[in-house]
Structure 1
Amino acid sequence: MITVSAPPDTTVGELRASGHVQSSVKDEIRRNLLSALRSGRDPWPGILGFGATVLPQLERALIAGHDVVLLGERGQGKTRLLRTLVGLLDEWTPVIAGAELGEHPYEPITPASLRRAADLGDELPVTWRHRSERYSEKLATPDTSVGDLVGDVDPIKVAEGRSLGDPETIHFGLIPRAHRGVMAVNELPDLAERIQVAMLNVMEERDIQVRGYNLRLPLDVLLVASANPEDYTNRGRIITPLKDRFGAEVRTHYPLEVADEIAVIGQESETVAEVPEYLFEVLARLTRMLRESSSVDQRSGVSARFAIAGAETVAAAALQRSARVGEPESVARPVDLGTVVPVLRGKVEFESGEEGRELELLEHLLRRATAETVRERLGGIDLAPLVTAVEDGGQVVTGELVSAAELLASLPDIEVIDVIGCRLGARTAGERAAAVEFALEGLYLARRIAKETEDDGRTVYI
């Protein structure tokens, strides 16, 4: 996000006269990180659950000037964390106008920029680059080539009449183009080993070598990467010399607290209808149970995207219902939680011995997660009057195609319903219907009332 407009274009002579001081990328990040810590400003906006574990380690690595690899299972926020590094760069930095690699006016490094600097002297034109343009990212895939990352000969430039020995015939790859910025490589172990070898000079000598060219570019770049432990040790690996060149290896993890998991779901999900927070909590608890289940392959992990996609699916079910029954508002209810099981089954890797039982396991854990959330959210409320009212013939009807108004109309007129709504922050009719259904589902799971599903898909608490 641009908060300050770019300074006016100038020349290198005027830049020197203004007192501008050149800093390396790592010095720049260190200075801005320390400034944020001293002022109490959060340097990691949007990063949840890492405050006491991952972030202190990463901060120490950046202050030390180390290149960093983040090691963790899928869906732990590694890429999001890497992308926040751009916020630690200066908002605007001067570059040589028209330079291919965005070189600093005080330090041109390509043959073309060196020639222009020699010819123009203090009149070398300078423009300004925003920090958002100084972050590059590459998903490592098996078909990634040395040319993609480092560079290769550009046949078009050769065809224009330059000789093959001319360094200006080189087309620079992503790493040189990240000069004076941050270069992130996601899933680094998926790079072929011969491609990783091409990165050794970048990591240690801070230069590149392209084919047989005698070209040395003193690159100023912070190199960061992410890796999955499964790939790191088995299917793919980071070669030992490259691993040795990373100054820091930081282990990430899934949220340690339920509250952090809920916050991640709320922050990352794009819901098309209102989803009460206690339903987020059910999904958070379900995700955490899957991560602890012996029926799930824990080597692959259970991504935070599981719960995020679940929240979006629940919201979609609520919007679908409101469209079909003509409700004025769309509020998700516990009945919508059942829609996540068949949709998200493929996002979990089960152990081979559980083949054919995936849906059964997910449904069982969803019931457990719901029961735990009800105890947490409604603990201390005497629900006996609601149980008595239902047992005395006050049947409550719900279902995927039952409107909130219809559900509320089937409720007995007792005070505890208002108490439940108040505890769960229900204000509108849709929110009240969701709150009462949540309490009824908890009573059913505690075996205090019964539940029957009719042929038309309606569910009756009796």
Structure 2
Amino acid sequence: MAEGRYLSDELTIHYGMIPRTNRGIFCINELPDLAERIQVGLLNIMEERDVQIRGYKIRLPLDVYVVASANPEDYTNRGRIITPLKDRVGSEIRTHYPLTIDHEIMIMEEESSKMLTDGLDVTVPQFMKEIVAEVTHLARSSNDISQRSGVSVRVTVANYENVLSNASRRALRLKERQVVPRVSDLEAIIASTSGKIELDTVGDVKEERVVKKLINGAIMSVFGQYFEPKEFEQLVAGFERGLNVQVGDDMPSMEYVNQLSKVGGLSKAIDKLSGRGNPATIASTVEFILEGLHLNRRLNKDAVGGKTRYRR
């Protein structure tokens, strides 16, 4: 050995990670993934609170707080926690998904990546945040999706980022300063949701179809929290007289404002959603109301060439 020391010399001991964490907190992620022989090495640490160094006649007393994370055993087949180690766990804390839409939105806003939007003003209407969060909540209770695998908050965060990026792309292409997500931007979450859910259906059911069903359910649910379809009798009457409105995720916001001049019965609804202020916010609000009426069977919808036309 270097410096003329023998292997049995205590000065040649190499302390592992846990002894080096003495008087601290040692965290282990995905405990079941540890090989069983390594889990056995934790038994003495958690029960006797000391550690033996292999090859040396020495035992070191430890003051270490061990925290480990693990998914339920039926969630993964990669490994398991050995029974003697389970017996030495002081407390087991079971986490859960956010129980309310407000909590989901809070986490979504906190964890989402902040995009570089130099020269752009980003505004996300509250109803759009609620729709994105509601999609995840509906997925957690959907019979089409495996609840054994679960639907994590990462789905909400990824969907929120995709909706914002699609709205930003439109603003850059159309040279608009305001970035406001619309209902038509929700098509972008199909890609971010499909890879994070596991279907539990019989037959050949595509993920895209399941996600679209979730989006429609979320829009209808959020729309019902703000409005009753009967509030738009004047608007529906206008469509019965031949009115039609065209929307699309690549349409300039001013086109919505121009169409709004010939549509009656929307002013109060726009004010209720705080949709005044700029053309982009008005465009988002108009799409939400029209899609809500369509899902409540008050309007028909035709989708052709990336455009959507609402009619009676």
| TM value normalised by structure 2 | 0.89
Alignment equivalent of 2:280, drawn from 386, 410, 430: 430
Q: Is contact 2:155–2:192 with CA below 8 Å preserved after alignment?
A: no
Q: Hey, what does 2:225 align to over in structure 1?
A: 376
Query: What CA distance in whole angstroms lies between the structure 1 residues aligned with 2:234 and 2:188?
Result: 30
Alignment equivalent of 1:312, drawn from 161, 164, 167: 161
Return structure 1 stretches of 4+ with deviation > 6 angstroms. Answer: none
Secondary structure in 1 matching 2:14:
strand
Q: Hey, what does 1:229 align to over in structure 2?
A: 72
Alignment equivalent of 2:140, drawn from 291, 308, 313: 291
Alignment equivalent of 1:199, drawn from 23, 42, 45: 42
Aligned pairs for 1:32-431 (under 5 A) are 158-230=1-73, 234-272=77-115, 273-351=122-200, 353-379=202-228, 382-413=231-262, 416-426=265-275, 427-431=277-281
Q: Is contact 2:75–2:149 with CA below 8 Å preserved after alignment?
A: no
Secondary structure in 2 matching 1:410:
helix
Q: Is contact 1:275–1:314 with CA below 8 Å preserved after alignment?
A: no
Paired amino acid for 2:138: M
Q: Is contact 1:391–1:449 with CA below 8 Å preserved after alignment?
A: no
Q: Is contact 1:318–1:332 with CA below 8 Å preserved after alignment?
A: yes
| TM value normalised by structure 1 | 0.62
Paired amino acid for 1:296: I
Decide whether aligned partners of structure 1 residues 392 and 163 sit closer, same or farther in structure 2, where only a CA change above 3 A counts. Answer: farther
* Deviation of 1:296 (Å): 1.4
* Deviation of 1:288 (Å): 1.6
Q: Is contact 2:302–2:309 with CA below 8 Å preserved after alignment?
A: yes
Query: What CA distance in whole angstroms lies between the structure 2 residues aligned with 1:242 and 1:210?
Result: 20
Q: Deviations over 1:22-77 (max 9, x none)?
A: xxxxxxxxxxxxxxxxxxxxxxxxxxxxxxxxxxxxxxxxxxxxxxxxxxxxxxxx
Q: Deviations over 1:308-339 (max 9, x none)?
A: 10000000000011111111111111100111
Q: Is contact 1:266–1:280 with CA below 8 Å preserved after alignment?
A: no
Q: Hey, what does 1:41 align to over in structure 2?
A: none
Is 1:439 matched up with 2:289? yes
Query: What CA distance in whole angstroms lies between the structure 2 residues aligned with 1:245 and 1:442?
Result: 54
Secondary structure in 2 matching 1:385:
helix
Query: What CA distance in whole angstroms lies between the structure 2 residues aligned with 1:377 and 1:170?
Result: 68
Q: Hey, what does 1:459 align to over in structure 2?
A: 308
Q: Deviations over 1:418-453 (max 9, x none)?
A: 322222222332112111211111001111111112
Secondary structure in 2 matching 1:224:
strand
Task: Supply the RMSD in Å over aligned alpha carbons.
Answer: 2.2
Q: Is contact 1:333–1:434 with CA below 8 Å preserved after alignment?
A: yes
Secondary structure in 1 matching 2:50:
coil
Paired amino acid for 1:453: A
Secondary structure in 1 matching 2:251:
coil
Secondary structure in 1 matching 2:60:
coil
Decide whether aligned partners of structure 1 residues 380 and 396 sit closer, same or farther in structure 2, where only a CA change above 3 A counts. Answer: closer
Q: Hey, what does 2:119 align to over in structure 1?
A: none
* Deviation of 1:245 (Å): 1.1
Paired amino acid for 2:295: L
Secondary structure in 2 matching 1:435:
helix
* Deviation of 1:342 (Å): 2.8
Q: Is contact 1:291–1:298 with CA below 8 Å preserved after alignment?
A: yes
Secondary structure in 2 matching 1:383:
helix
Query: What CA distance in whole angstroms lies between the structure 2 residues aligned with 1:232 and 1:248?
Result: 20
**Runs of at least 5 residues in structure 2 that lack an aligned partner in the other structure:** 116-121
* Deviation of 1:233 (Å): 7.9
Query: What CA distance in whole angstroms lies between the structure 2 residues aligned with 1:299 and 1:173?
Result: 37
Paired amino acid for 1:183: F
Paired amino acid for 1:253: H
Query: What CA distance in whole angstroms lies between the structure 1 residues aligned with 2:62 and 2:75?
Result: 27
Query: What CA distance in whole angstroms lies between the structure 2 residues aligned with 1:345 and 1:354?
Result: 17
Paired amino acid for 1:433: A
Count of residues in correspondence between the two structures? 304
Secondary structure in 2 matching 1:184:
strand
Secondary structure in 2 matching 1:251:
coil
**Runs of at least 5 residues in structure 1 that lack an aligned partner in the other structure:** 1-157
Q: Is contact 1:286–1:365 with CA below 8 Å preserved after alignment?
A: yes
Decide whether aligned partners of structure 1 residues 163 and 425 sit closer, same or farther in structure 2, where only a CA change above 3 A counts. Answer: farther
- Greater Cα shift, 423-432 or 434-443: 423-432
* Deviation of 1:298 (Å): 1.3
